[in-house]
Structure 1
């Protein structure tokens, strides 16, 4: 079974589909490949209803934040697919994610929020989805979104 088949099968089992790879919102590119690494720009939280906005510890629960992070993970996979000419079999593994959580100064559950993305990556990629990670607080994020996550994937 190929990686694309595995990822897409796992997504379907979870009732999820990859969105179109989001276009950049400012003066940057969505990804850069150097050698066998694809560096994906930060993907902001959104779903079929639009942007997922709000501040953790004020407007949103930790679970809502984890769902927002999960939406970022889907966009990261969509960008990895676009960067791989639509062929996820070229994606060998997720190397690292850096997650930013729009949160109040006293909110301390950033790792639990970003687990929404980490858990999804492991669920759809297996061991190849296990990665190094940072989860940090931000006073605000672009467009008021709840979560932004960037990632590095290894490709063949």
Structure 2
């Protein structure tokens, strides 16, 4: 029972991060799959991506660089016989997902068609899995000032550790 609760929590986290901010819900995902499977497709999936990466670099006591990057999008894959079709959009939303779904359906539809009985049910399938990584985003756990201070403390630590240290370069990256 614990595994099912964990899986349900993971689905809720994914919905909070990947669907809700973009106005998506389970009905929209079913609509995308209906678009794909309107032609003879053996298998299809949607892949949602949202990642934040932040980096700070210190060289000789001076912050040399700071960066922040957001990568997001949705990928659609359809398999028909021996053909596989992919489409990707940097925009997460119903319209781009349906456009990608239509594209993969058309590409996969050009190949050999195979008919399969695909089981469908209500709700998303919540398979059990190991909870290896929690949903904590480390980026907002420290302010920018605290991150720079951490780099400065690392530099001081290295210099105090060995008087032969001439140059210190330190990086902090959160993803």
**TM tier, shorter chain?**
under 0.3
Which one has the largest radius of gyration? Answer: 2
Q: Which structure is richer in relative contact order (CA contacts within 8 A, separation 6 or more)?
A: 1
